[in-house]
Structure 1
């Protein structure tokens, strides 16, 4: 039987919470494939994965590999996926099961009609552990609902509305065609996942369903600000890869070009602001090196990003300018609760 969606769940020392994630995927039944990638865990993650694979043959697969990081887990899932669509679910997150069934049914209807889109988009929900609050990110003001559309019909995304790994379901063959391979032992590669394949996406479909539940608030989480500063080299590595994939592209879709430009401007700003917040001379030097790299790679793109609003804010001169940069960043962080 044809699988509609492959859910790839990269797991590293996830034994304390992965069962909750898996249990929300199981209601998909024969229409789904769940691939649990044990990424060299030292706890019971591998054992739990094997137990689910044994209990649900034909539905759950367990793959064990040497530790390669989250990106390698995504790569492994894609290599082994048999579903027509591919969705990554982090092991500490979960899906809304009733919403998932609605999405699967819609994809089945689209596939049967021969009009299956390159990308399915749904809402995601920030589940904040520290204050037990929720924040829903939807696209009702940006995207047409419940029909296939193209980039020409897309509206303007707010800073809080960019497509994340949580909101997208890609056509599996499109991902493979794009040639995307995420780097090993690198955090923040989800940005590459939702950026690099976009020029291959011609048709989209949006459902106003709060599908993905994004748990946020653990002190060791990769999006914790202090953790991000410690891993700033990885942030720069990811941003450079995104620069490489976008530089000198001549996209026929102006709205896609503008969307990708804005997304890259966010990545440049985050890298730059984290360097400023750290207060370390070496990180400020890395910030300058990143902008120099961009200029050497594609001067026209450098100009577009340097004089973009975020580019100007993240490069305010002098100590007073850096203080203002951090102040504006804090305001945005409080408003959008992004980490």
Structure 2
């Protein structure tokens, strides 16, 4: 462990370039690796801060968070709150952040040291030159520990590199290239500038986080670095298929919030951003459609029907795009045979795009 406490406490008043929010619930087994990866990758720099949000944990997470704060005052802060779920922890981190930029790192994930070092030099450069960048995008890596494999999700075919750009300049995103929480680092004032409708006690809020703020971002920078390491390998992880089927109601809740965030064809003026967001939203509707078919819950088909009906009432044009494009048709085939085909297509897509 690096031993530079004195330097850090002295520099506690330093302007922070980047704040990391680490939502943590019963994370005692993982949190040390996560925090160490940020400290080491930033070289224990005084211009970053790490906010560990203990979301009402029942294990040693609260003590660990306090120990980290004691060890690195001025860099690490522990925030304790009653259990509110991932979204509430993300918002608590944001409320307590003081940096120009805000990056969420889940407590069981970690950051690559050399990529983080590169990211920090780029962000510091923006600050020095007074260049306003609303959104910093980087790659992420699925670390499938139980399979011993890793899959990198990169955006170099879709985004310009090594310069600040706007949504007018983005290319086409593949279905495997959605911008996720792992790939995004927002300028903090962009997140504070409007509502971030993250519901309490709900999984999959990262979809809202990676969707709602996008139209507020006018300037973007993409660094082709494999920064975020997304750990897949625990039982009951929220992306596990059986878990997703069980939490179908939460998937519906998140999709409705995203639906009601925008009338995409009226509210989002940049056509390329609108197309991207429509594609993302269509994928959310497709997930609801597929998992309704995988679910044993007798209420699932009706819930799905209601969701499609409400989308049609809310915005006919979004409904037509989501329902009658290739993905909408493929995930809503009629009859039992159609259902089997839909599920087969979903599993095939999972193998191709490695999302599960």
Q: TM-score range by the shorter chain?
A: over 0.9
Matched, 1:285 2:302: yes
Give SS of 1:160's match: helix
Matched, 1:195 2:211: yes
Q: Which residue of 2 aligns with 1:115?
A: 131
* Kept after mapping to 1: 8 A contact 2:197/2:208: no
Q: Which residue of 1 aligns with 2:322?
A: 305
The 5-angstrom pairing of residues 123-162 of structure 1 reads 123-162=139-178
How far does residue 303 in structure 1 lie from its aligned partner after superposition?
A: 1.3
Q: Which residue of 1 aligns with 2:345?
A: 328
Give SS of 2:201's match: coil
- Equivalent residue pairs, number: 339
Q: Which residue of 2 aligns with 1:4?
A: 17
Give SS of 2:98's match: coil
Give SS of 2:177's match: coil
Partners of 2:167 and 2:83 in 1: how far apart?
Answer: 38
Q: Which residue of 2 aligns with 1:23?
A: 36
How far does residue 296 in structure 1 lie from its aligned partner after superposition?
A: 1.6
Q: Which string of whole-angstrom CA distances, capped at 9 and with x for unpartnered residues, describes residues 153-175 of structure 1?
A: 10000010010000010000011
CA RMSD of aligned residues (A): 1.0
Matched, 1:250 2:267: yes
Partners of 2:66 and 2:108 in 1: how far apart?
Answer: 18
Q: Which string of whole-angstrom CA distances, capped at 9 and with x for unpartnered residues, describes residues 41-76 of structure 1?
A: 000000000000000000000000000000000010
Q: Which string of whole-angstrom CA distances, capped at 9 and with x for unpartnered residues, describes residues 7-64 of structure 1?
A: 0000000001110000011132212110000000000000000000000000000000
Matched, 1:14 2:27: yes
How far does residue 285 in structure 1 lie from its aligned partner after superposition?
A: 1.3
- TM-score by structure 2 length? 0.94
Partners of 1:87 and 1:234 in 2: how far apart?
Answer: 24
* Kept after mapping to 2: 8 A contact 1:305/1:311: yes
* Kept after mapping to 2: 8 A contact 1:75/1:181: no
Q: Which string of whole-angstrom CA distances, capped at 9 and with x for unpartnered residues, describes residues 160-206 of structure 1?
A: 00100000100000110022131100000000001001110111101
Partners of 2:296 and 2:239 in 1: how far apart?
Answer: 19
Q: Which residue of 1 aligns with 2:284?
A: 267
Q: Which string of whole-angstrom CA distances, capped at 9 and with x for unpartnered residues, describes residues 126-174 of structure 1?
A: 0002211000000111111111011111000001001000001000001
Tell me whether 306-315 or 130-139 shows the greater mean CA deviation: 306-315
Q: Which residue of 2 aligns with 1:338?
A: 355
Partners of 2:215 and 2:165 in 1: how far apart?
Answer: 15
The 5-angstrom pairing of residues 219-234 of structure 1 reads 219-234=235-250
The 5-angstrom pairing of residues 26-65 of structure 1 reads 26-27=39-40, 28=42, 29-65=45-81
* Kept after mapping to 2: 8 A contact 1:31/1:104: no
Partners of 2:253 and 2:156 in 1: how far apart?
Answer: 33
Q: Which residue of 1 aligns with 2:96?
A: 80
Partners of 1:241 and 1:326 in 2: how far apart?
Answer: 25
Give SS of 1:135's match: strand
How far does residue 279 in structure 1 lie from its aligned partner after superposition?
A: 4.3
Paired residue for 2:112, among 90, 96, 99?
A: 96
Tell me whether 102-111 or 187-196 shows the greater mean CA deviation: 102-111
How far does residue 215 in structure 1 lie from its aligned partner after superposition?
A: 0.2
Partners of 1:146 and 1:21 in 2: how far apart?
Answer: 28
* Kept after mapping to 1: 8 A contact 2:55/2:85: yes
Q: Which residue of 2 aligns with 1:106?
A: 122
Give SS of 2:131's match: coil
How far does residue 280 in structure 1 lie from its aligned partner after superposition?
A: 3.6
Paired residue for 2:202, among 171, 175, 186?
A: 186
Matched, 1:166 2:182: yes
Gaps of 5+ in 1: none
Tell me whether 165-174 or 108-117 shows the greater mean CA deviation: 108-117
